[in-house]
Structure 1
């Protein structure tokens, strides 16, 4: 089973090393992707990396919503623990609001 910490580490690694976001700009998982000023193509690239790593499919418009890093991590862990390869994002978005 994939841990929350493992998924979060993958996302943070991408943000710091691929998207060139300084780690100091990511103080915690409560920060929203939108506040990091990452362009949508880079976010879609991140989704592709996550999908490739875990063999899941995440709707591209999921990342364009106003979601936090922790919200995305919870969504991915939920997909993996349920054994789903494709998830619904509407319920996760509701919990973020």
Structure 2
């Protein structure tokens, strides 16, 4: 069992490791949202922050749905490989 100090170090390592990835994802999403806003509203709008915020929320939801589907597909692939390996092992 991990003690509290080891748990804290493990969590900090994970957060530090993923921080760069999270920043890159955030910057990429922000760039896409701003580019789409400028394309959709070349003359601007009365509430740019509100519209950009809603666009960002939509994009985040779409990214989360895509990530969930990719994780599900990967899990299914791993399960199928495990099934095939177990069937081969039982037959020999």
- State the TM-score, normalized to the length of structure 1: 0.30
Structure ID, larger Rg: 2
- Larger RCO: 1 or 2 (CA < 8 Å, sep 6+): 1
